[in-house]
Amino acid sequence: MVEEYPRNLTELEADFGTEEACRAYLARLRWPDGFLCPRCGGGRSWPVRGVLLECAACGCQTSVTAGTIFQDTRTPLRVWFRAMWWVTTQKNGASALGLQRVLGLKKYETAWTMLHKLRHAMVRPGRDLLTGRIEVDESYVGGEEEGLPGRLNLKKALVVVAAQEDGPGIGRIRMRQIIDASAESLVPFVRASVEPGSVVHTDGWAGYFPLERNGYPHEVTILKRKKKTPSELLPRVHRVVSLLKRWLLGTHQGAVSQKHLDYYLDEFTFRFNRRRSKSRGKLFFRLAQQAVAVDPVPYDQIVHPNRRKAKPQSVGVT
């Protein structure tokens, strides 16, 4: 599909002034080769009452938003589109309070829920693994942060980060909250984030030792006579962690709870990995594209992410 996106706010307003225009755009993103029935795979449909599509083959009714993060929303798509625009065009992202103000939403919860759903869409299903040389290290986030103003309203949480080496700089990253620094926590993270055969560079912590037999050439750097600090040892990971902390303290003013931290890590990663993208509109396009590609997140699962996740209905009607 041709990448089609607004280049500025004026174009956004002109292109997405109606629910119909928003729905048509989402349909082009979701079904670039034309309608695909979620039940039978049929390719022909009839519109029903404007919003629904009825499959010509099996008669099932669906909509472009069913089975996406927009499922069951009571917020107009026009408002969603403006939220996506705001989130992707603000250099440091948006807080729920900021979004509520700019969209003129009555309830804070509406802005908060939209942002969490959008963060969910920032993780691309089946995204590529990092390749090349990868630094991996874990770090505590939360509480009083040394050298940074303010305080994270978050008990200490352990976050593991993988950062692709790009010369002296940083390529793409992945990160996740883990319960401890055991091999059982660290190795699955590396396997989910890094292509086997890539060199993984860590400190001398034993939790990383099984990497070698999991197919990763493992490079270990250990502190020699304490001449170097840990941040010099794995400088990329530590730069990422320090940017993450600044972002949590700045944009979100530290108001991030531990059970929701993963959503924030996803947003941070999405932004970081696209930080060199010159076109903000392209970020909007990516987010909209992913929003119709991921499963819906029920409100209950956003609020209580650690509860057993119910498999959402794949065929639903909004």
Question: Would you tell me which residues interact with Zn ion (CB under 5 A)?
Answer: 37, 39-40, 42, 55, 57-58, 60
**Taking the complex as a whole, how short is the minimal distance between the CB of residue 37 and Zn ion, in angstroms?**
3
Per residue in 259-294, is it b (16+ CB within 10 Å) or e — as a string?
ebbbbbbbbbbbbbbbeeeeebbebbbbbbbbbbbb
**Taking the complex as a whole, how short is the minimal distance between the CB of residue 48 and Zn ion, in angstroms?**
13
Residue count of the chain, please give it.
Answer: 318
**Taking the complex as a whole, how short is the minimal distance between the CB of residue 298 and Zn ion, in angstroms?**
25
**Taking the complex as a whole, how short is the minimal distance between the CB of residue 66 and Zn ion, in angstroms?**
13
Residue 158 in tokens:
């352990």
Identify which of residues 24 and 57 has a Cβ nearer to Zn ion in the complex.
57
Identify which of residues 60 and 243 has a Cβ nearer to Zn ion in the complex.
60
* Cβ atoms 99, 115 nearer than 8 A: yes
Identify which of residues 58 and 206 has a Cβ nearer to Zn ion in the complex.
58
**Distance between CA atoms of residues 18 and 28, nearest Å:** 16
* Cβ atoms 92, 250 nearer than 8 A: yes
Identify which of residues 59 and 132 has a Cβ nearer to Zn ion in the complex.
59
**Distance between CA atoms of residues 197 and 214, nearest Å:** 9
**Taking the complex as a whole, how short is the minimal distance between the CB of residue 122 and Zn ion, in angstroms?**
30
Per residue in 157-185, is it b (16+ CB within 10 Å) or e — as a string?
bbbbbbbbbeeeebbbbbbbbbeebebeb
Identify which of residues 37 and 200 has a Cβ nearer to Zn ion in the complex.
37
Identify which of residues 55 and 173 has a Cβ nearer to Zn ion in the complex.
55
Please give the C-alpha separations between residue 272 and each of 163, 174, 307, in angstroms, as whole numbers. 11, 10, 29
**Distance between CA atoms of residues 28 and 35, nearest Å:** 9
**Taking the complex as a whole, how short is the minimal distance between the CB of residue 90 and Zn ion, in angstroms?**
40
Residue 285 in tokens:
């396009």
